[in-house]
Structure 1
Amino acid sequence: MSTQPIIFYDIPSTAPGCAWSPNTWKIRYAFNLKGLPYKTTWIEYPDIADLCKSIGAEPTMIRKDGSPYYSLPVIKDPNTGAVVSDSARIADYLDATYPNLPKLMPAGTETLQRGFRVAAESATDPLTPYVIPAVAHILHPRSKEYFVRTREERFGKKLEDVVPTGEAHDVAWKALEAGYAKINGWTTPGSPFVMGDTVSYADLVIAAELQWCLKAFGANSDSWKGMMAWHEGRWARLISDLQRYEGPNEDVHA
């Protein structure tokens, strides 16, 4: 099959390299790991729903009130005509459609990989009140207004009031470190990746969340430097080992 570049819809930012979302980072890594050509189309937050409807992308989920919720990543594959939304579904699609390229989920590990994703994201849940407010500062103006308004509705408070402080911060940050310690304990000591020497979707899940932190906090922040020192530099090594799969720097300006 001759492969035309797959259209990859992502959300821009002012952070270096532009890409910041953990969900889209999973697929950015996936494209580069598989060696698939792709072209990023940057979509601001207020335009996501209309974009998805216009290209026939399924909603990511249905809200409790029955209304559809659209989010990125979404891909449009000109080689097959497929439009696929949601990072997990996209990963499944890429492995099924391009099986002769490196597998994101090696045969027989699919269920374990999906379970790992859910468990890892649950273990690092204490990140949310730190990263969400920080993300607002790296978005372009139209996306920032949408993001702040919708997240404040979700939290029921101003974003600046979401960040833990004082004793609450001490408790939350220790819980976050413990969450990463739990993930570290699920891997083979001394091995660079979850499956030993083989990169898989599980590693992309961890690294995508770390990219979220890097872009939101900034490389020179105490928060990022502290995370990179955890567990004898385990997460710094993972980011370094996967750097070759980050793809090109795609800075986009407002």
Structure 2
Amino acid sequence: MTIVLYDLPSKAKGNAWSPAAWKVRYVLNFKGIPYKTEWVEYPDIENLWKKLGIAHTSLKADGRPHYTVPAIYDPSTGVYLSESLQIAEYLEKTYPDTPIFPHNTLGLQWPFNDVFTSNLSSLWNFITPAICWKLNPTSEVYFRATREESFGQTMENLFPKGDAAVAEWAKLREALGKVDVLYSKTSGPYLMGDTLSWADIVVAGYLTMIKVIFGEDSQEWRNISTWHDGRWKKCIDNLKKYETVV
């Protein structure tokens, strides 16, 4: 039976851009689990999730439930589930072949998403406006309103320019260097040597977002893809056979 992956559409090449959804897509493709993507615009998520019985993943600042993409529906078990790591853990338990937490490493890999994203703080002022500009009109209106309220300024003003941009890119390069050190300690292309695992999928999910949102031919991605001896381009290239969007 075919799993349904709920994801956010865009005007970007290939449509798929959400790093959280990319993580789940990589897992599904890696495990060879049949699935199809259903695209959901930002303003439609909450009502659809309530209708389907998909739980919220967190609480907003005012205490209201926060409903997020990705989510899946597995018709073989009747399970609806959201949040990428919870989905990954479910898929690992339900479809254990081709493990993404090999050698009982779930406990070690569980916090890696937070560790990795803590090194991306300099990215958000660039990528948030860029995401806004790549969304379809109905999602762009929603995204702009919620993010401008959160950041306290327009998307156009948020995007760093001039010397500020140079400084922020330098900070991001330095921060990613900490992750590059982890990769340099292994004997293969992945954090577990020759074994692909969840941690590599986390890294690839965020890098794929950057490449898709800015564009493969953009100066931003061309720069990042050369950092640390081409480490970040290699991270995506190593998972290329698992990036099919269906």
Answer yes or no: same fold by TM over 0.5.
yes
1:184 to 180, 186, 189: 180
Q: Count how many residue pairs are aligned between Structure 1 and Structure 2.
A: 245
- Secondary structure of the 1:107 match is helix
Aligned 1:68-83 pairs, distance under 5 A? 68-83=65-80
Between the aligned residues of both structures, percent identity stands at: 42
Q: Does 1:125 align with 2:121?
A: yes
Selected match of 1:227 from 215, 224, 227: 224
- Look up the match of 2:135: 139
Runs of 4+ in structure 1 deviating by more than 3 angstroms, as ranges, are none
3-state secondary structure, aligned to 2:72: strand
**One-letter identity of the residue aligned with 1:125:** S
Q: Deviations over 1:98-147 (max 9, x none)?
A: 11x21111132112212222111101221111111001121111011111
Partners of 1:175 and 1:196 in 2: CA distance: 28
Q: TM-score, normalised by structure 1?
A: 0.93
Query: How far did residue 62 of structure 1 move?
Result: 1.5
Change (3 A) 1:131 1:55: same
Between 110-119 and 47-56, report the one with greater CA deviation: 110-119
Corresponding residue for 2:152? Answer: 156
Equivalent residue, structure 2, for 1:204: 201
Does 1:86 find its partner at 2:83?
yes
Unaligned runs of 5+ in 2: none
Give the counterpart letter for 2:59 in structure 1: I
Q: Which residue of 2 aligns with 1:108?
A: 104
1:125 and 1:94 map into 2 onto residues whose CA distance is 29
Whole-angstrom CA distance in 2 between matches of 1:189 and 1:94: 26
Whether 1:59 aligns to 2:34 is: no
Give the Cα separation in 1 of the matches to 2:22 and 2:164: 30
Give, in whole Å, the separation in 1 of the partners of 2:10 and 2:45: 15
- Contact kept in structure 1, 2:72 and 2:81, CA below 8 Å: yes
State the TM-score, normalized to the length of structure 2.
0.96
